[in-house]
Structure 1
Amino acid sequence: MTNQSALTNEMALAKEADGEGASGAGTSGTSTTSSTGGGEGQKGHPRGLYTLFGAEAWERFSYYGMRALLVLYLTQKIKLDREHALEIYGLYTGLVYLTPLLGGYLADKILGRRKAVLIGGIVMAIGQLALMSESLLFLALGLLIAGNGFFKPNISTMVGGLYREGDTRRDGAFTIFYMGINLGALWSPIICGTLGEKVAFAAGFGSAALGMTLGLAQFAMGQKHLGDTGLPPGRETKKEIVGEPPYRSSVVSAKAILLGSRDYIDVVIWTAGTCALVWGVLFAWNFVGPAWGAAPGFVKGLLGLAAIGAVFFQLFRGSNAQEAQQILVIIILCAFNIFFWMGFEQAGGTMTLFAAEQTERNIGGIGMILIAAFVFACAYNFRRSTKSEASGQALWLSLTAMFALLGLAALGMGGYGLATGQATNIPASQFQAINPLIIVALAPTFSNLWDKLDSGKYRTSTPTKMAIGMIILGFGFLILFFGQKIGTANGAKASAAWLGAVYIIHTIGELCLSPIGLSMVTKLAPPRVSSLAMGLWLFSSAVANYLAGTLESMLTKVQVPIYGFLVVSSIGPAILLLALTPLLKKWMHGKA
């Protein structure tokens, strides 16, 4: 699951975690520090927001840089066969969605969010470094999965913790934070991907580790701007509420809002314990794995059904008729969620291999000039969509300038190509930069579009948005299916335009679907089972990611082309979902 949808999930998690998140903005003095770094009646954002923005941007740089290279590393460096490499990719990206459940729980009950973020970041940096050694592959992936569990759910909830309930700056804060996600996701395939493919895979993973380290450093040095947000349970500072709502000002001791030496000892202990636990699980799997692999399929199926049945029992237990209907909507949409992300997550798997093996990636001067024009158009649309934003203008202008520089770089390469007749070789991993580029360029436009539609007579329900996204996804795979057939005829390679168009179309589909997710779950799930319902939604995303990695292998056995299958598996369920929408809207009782 990529950036726009990830932000929607994080916003929902932040709202769920607002027992901590009502600290609000505060004032700052010479010998005191505010609880959040803002000020009474302050129109701007607390400085702590930009601490979290930078840390998240570097973490996403690290994650997406590694993700862009993983399948290429497995097939080209370690020489795994395609089927095995994609299975590892699917298992990794699937488990990344499950560990945050445990990491969030540990932060809530024991660690506090700041220590959890530090633990997760350190473990992930170690994992990125371990990827530089082929013999440590599975240990490295295990460390990245475990570290993500500590980091991901906790840094996003701290954004909500900078503002009290009802603070009008809060939505704008998440927009800024979301740009940090996409900033890291945009540059990581360009930098890590280029180093990994053009220099050495170790250099690519090393740059990802460096990015994670820089994010940790920024977070640790900037914690003084976070107020008391994210401190361990029971250590919240006493607040004095002054001024008029929605802003909250509070003066607290500067020492009270910083982690102490004991906290850093805890970070070291938990980091070492996490690394040891990952190693222990891998060691135990040497004995458990063969037994599990030898178990009959129906036994595995029965265990899975029993587990799902237990979850359903807990969800429905004690529910009245309306709650039961809302829970049923969540379950149904979880099933459709699998179909969307099973297709979308081909981006880091089969589509990356398609770019590496079947795409003509030597782009001539005219092609690079067209790419430059496209990037300039994205920069223009981004600026046009954000110029009226009430806050963050310095950031919006900086991002516009950054995209303009990307366009100038492409324009320069295009001019050089025309002058010399030489083509520019685009690394396969860099195609994954198209998604965050389009998201940043079009997300404000789509946000305004949905706002206008939802405030008028064309209000679009959650199931309808989901179905639209799935249809657009299927259309993208239809183009890729024919592009593969036409472009690779007679042993030739497909034009890069085919794959580029598919990434753009899929991103538009994601932008249609992005308003749903955990935000929908928080609206429909009864409070007593909201965490369990969130876990079910994340589980559906994990299943989708695993299927994304194993689907090609399963289809090859029955000689079904994967992209043709994904056309049907995207559009077919979307039509069914549209047919079910009137019933689902009735069962949602106007809540989503």
Structure 2
Amino acid sequence: MTEKTWAGHPRGLATLFMTEFFERFTYYGMRALLILFLTAAVTAENAGFGIPRESAGAIYGLYTGAVYLFSLPGGWIADRLIGQRKAVFWGGVLIMLGNFTLAIPASPPVFYLGLAIIVVGVGLLKPNISAIVGELYKGQPGARRDAGFSIFYMGINLGAFIAPLIAGTIGEAWSWRGGFFCAGLFMGIGLLQYKLTENYLGDAGLHPHAADEAERAKGWKLLAGASAAVIALVLLLFTGVIPVGVTQLAQLVGSGMVALAFVFFGYVLFFADITREERGRVAVIAIFFLCAALFWAGFEQAATTFNLFALDYTDRSLLGGWFPDGVHPASWYQSINPLVIILLSPFFAWLWVTLGRRNLDPSAPAKFGLGLVQLGLGFVVIMGAAELILSSGGKVAPTWLLLTYLLHTTGELCLSPVGLSNVTKLSPPRYVGQMMGTWFLGAAVGNLAAGLIGGHVGSGSVEDMPGQFLQMALIGGGAGIAMLLFSGMIKKLMGSAAQ
């Protein structure tokens, strides 16, 4: 019997493509609304929580940072206890229930419970659905596997593109709670199609990798103990027994994650049983970790700083006649990044291959440098917009935000895929999984920092913005120039893996 295919690929790819599409719709639809809802006045017709912007940014940062951080235990739970298929399904169920919890018109603690449920759900689903894609191509040529992941990545960006236009519009123009409900509903549709077409996945991701029942029983005990400790800590924080404000908590969590990374890299570099060349490669991964954390701290301000900038300082009269307040939703601008990725990803793939044929392909450190420089240039553009607002006293055209997003997205295309590829290539064989964990940890640190920075910028006056954007431009651009200047030395540390 001939295996069913989809666009020349295993039929199971369509199942995972659609699941990821609906999950990313849910994630980016809710994310586009989060800080806008938290800061909306309680007396407004479409009422929010009226939280100060600095606190709202800290909440956003804790949420998005935790999403990436929980990918680490999410992968472990699938590998050791339940298998990737069940992790994806139950992760989706939690994401759906979490968003429905956000839709309940209740007090803030209920809302924050919904965020916590979503964090656990995304942590289960996100790393494991990618692992199942890989299993579909086991034993097949690398080029076909890469093409499959490219198609899968398109599902991510299609969901991220459409979500702010639908969930964002419902949330801003009608009801925040309705927007969250819409996000949960789409995850429910994704789960339904996942179960109806799961048979096309064959045995991929079906069983955990734990050796026997005794090992799994140990794992369940460890999970129960860790869960109890986390729940106890959260309750102590919420009840005020541990008197820590949300901004201070976010700062402490961020510092803890950075400290964890330094301890891990220090152990591997100085105490692990690896060769001299492998130590050089680990040092490069540590540099990439710092660059990634810095990049995401600037890039992920899309949903904080730039979302608030779109709300307060951008002329949104285009198509505004369709809406009661005469302006289109600020959350629409969250669709720019995935749209640019969809349009430009094929160009960048062609560019690197073409340059490689002529021996002109930039090294991985140089590509990181280019990504950071473009991040800095994006902040230069938005700094110009802030200066114009100061001089004119009015709002600026959407083109300022569009150009900022364009530069940040081309920077992402230089840095993110290159980082993923090189971390796996540079890691010592015994530490591949853990080194990939540091990549997620870098994203977690960056997302948390983006929330803290975005809340601080959004809560200040417009007079402060040019200086704040200039500072971010200098940090991002300066780091990028440093990477370009030292790319040759870093490339030498990569050894044969630089080829």
TM range (shorter): 0.7 to 0.9
Q: Is 1:337 aligned to 2:292, yes or no?
A: yes
Q: 1:186 to 1:82 in 2, by over 3 A?
A: same
Counterparts of 1:445-524 in structure 2, within 5 Å, are: 445-524=347-426
Q: Give deviations 1:93-130, integer Å, cap 9, x for gaps.
A: 11111101111111111101111011100111111011
Shift of 1:458: 0.5
Contact 1:488 1:494 in 2 (8 A): no
Letter in 2 for 1:363: L
Q: What's the RMSD between the two structures over aligned residues?
A: 3.4
Counterpart among 238, 248, 252 of residue 286 in structure 1 = 238
Q: Is 1:210 aligned to 2:185, yes or no?
A: yes
**CA–CA separation in structure 2 for the residues paired with 1:305 and 1:90:** 15
**CA–CA separation in structure 2 for the residues paired with 1:45 and 1:208:** 29
Q: 1:235 to 1:522 in 2, by over 3 A?
A: closer
Contact 1:363 1:423 in 2 (8 A): no
Letter in 2 for 1:521: V
1:258 maps to: none
Q: Give deviations 1:471-518, integer Å, cap 9, x for gaps.
A: 111111111101111035343111112112211221122122233223
Q: Is 1:310 aligned to 2:263, yes or no?
A: yes
1:179 maps to: 154
Q: Percent identity?
A: 40
**CA–CA separation in structure 1 for the residues paired with 2:39 and 2:7:** 51
Q: Is 1:430 aligned to 2:332, yes or no?
A: yes
Letter in 2 for 1:99: F
Q: Give deviations 1:370-391, integer Å, cap 9, x for gaps.
A: xxxxxxxxxxxxxxxxxxxxxx
**CA–CA separation in structure 1 for the residues paired with 2:226 and 2:342:** 35
Q: Give deviations 1:256-302, integer Å, cap 9, x for gaps.
A: xxxxxxxxxxxxxxxx9999998655324336872566999999999
Counterparts of 1:37-48 in structure 2, within 5 Å, are: 37=4, 44-48=8-12
Counterparts of 1:43-192 in structure 2, within 5 Å, are: 44-76=8-40, 77-133=48-104, 134-135=106-107, 136-167=110-141, 168-192=143-167
Q: Give deviations 1:163-206, integer Å, cap 9, x for gaps.
A: 22333522221111111111101110000000001110111111
Structure 1 residue matching 2:349: 3-state secondary structure: helix
Contact 1:551 1:562 in 2 (8 A): no
Comparing 74-83 with 315-324, greater Cα deviation is found at 315-324
1:324 maps to: 279
Q: 1:183 to 1:137 in 2, by over 3 A?
A: same
**CA–CA separation in structure 1 for the residues paired with 2:276 and 2:393:** 60
Shift of 1:65: 0.1
Letter in 1 for 2:36: L
Q: Is 1:591 aligned to 2:497, yes or no?
A: yes
Q: 1:298 to 1:451 in 2, by over 3 A?
A: closer
Greater helix share, 1 or 2?
2
Q: 1:234 to 1:91 in 2, by over 3 A?
A: closer
Q: 1:83 to 1:292 in 2, by over 3 A?
A: closer
**CA–CA separation in structure 2 for the residues paired with 1:277 and 1:48:** 38
Letter in 2 for 1:586: K
Q: Is 1:442 aligned to 2:344, yes or no?
A: yes
Shift of 1:307: 3.9
Shift of 1:306: 6.2
Structure 2 residue matching 1:495: 3-state secondary structure: coil
Letter in 1 for 2:24: R
Q: Give deviations 1:47-92, integer Å, cap 9, x for gaps.
A: 1110111111000000000010001010011100110111111111
Comparing 73-82 with 556-565, greater Cα deviation is found at 556-565
Contact 1:126 1:209 in 2 (8 A): yes
**CA–CA separation in structure 2 for the residues paired with 1:195 and 1:537:** 34
Letter in 1 for 2:359: K
Contact 2:57 2:456 in 1 (8 A): no
Comparing 531-540 with 177-186, greater Cα deviation is found at 531-540
**CA–CA separation in structure 2 for the residues paired with 1:187 and 1:301:** 31
Shift of 1:209: 0.3
**CA–CA separation in structure 1 for the residues paired with 2:258 and 2:389:** 43
**CA–CA separation in structure 2 for the residues paired with 1:301 and 1:277:** 19
Q: 1:436 to 1:299 in 2, by over 3 A?
A: closer
Q: Is 1:533 aligned to 2:435, yes or no?
A: yes
Counterparts of 1:522-561 in structure 2, within 5 Å, are: 522-552=424-454, 561=467
Contact 1:46 1:162 in 2 (8 A): yes
Contact 2:80 2:210 in 1 (8 A): no
> Would you say how many aligned residue pairs link Structure 1 and Structure 2?
469
Letter in 1 for 2:274: S
2:488 maps to: 582
Structure 2 residue matching 1:149: 3-state secondary structure: helix
**CA–CA separation in structure 2 for the residues paired with 1:296 and 1:211:** 32
Q: 1:437 to 1:305 in 2, by over 3 A?
A: closer
Letter in 1 for 2:64: T
| Structure (1 or 2) with the larger CA radius of gyration | 1
**CA–CA separation in structure 2 for the residues paired with 1:463 and 1:231:** 38
Q: 1:302 to 1:49 in 2, by over 3 A?
A: closer
Letter in 2 for 1:174: F
Contact 1:362 1:423 in 2 (8 A): no
Structure 1 residue matching 2:486: 3-state secondary structure: helix
**CA–CA separation in structure 2 for the residues paired with 1:351 and 1:95:** 21
Q: Is 1:232 aligned to 2:138, yes or no?
A: no
Counterpart among 175, 199, 211 of residue 200 in structure 1 = 175
Q: 1:447 to 1:281 in 2, by over 3 A?
A: same
Contact 2:290 2:442 in 1 (8 A): yes
Q: Provide the TM-score with structure 2 as the length reference.
A: 0.86
Shift of 1:551: 2.1
Q: 1:553 to 1:120 in 2, by over 3 A?
A: closer
**CA–CA separation in structure 1 for the residues paired with 2:56 and 2:16:** 34
1:262 maps to: none
Contact 2:298 2:472 in 1 (8 A): yes
Contact 1:466 1:513 in 2 (8 A): yes
Q: 1:590 to 1:235 in 2, by over 3 A?
A: closer
2:45 maps to: none
**CA–CA separation in structure 2 for the residues paired with 1:274 and 1:78:** 32
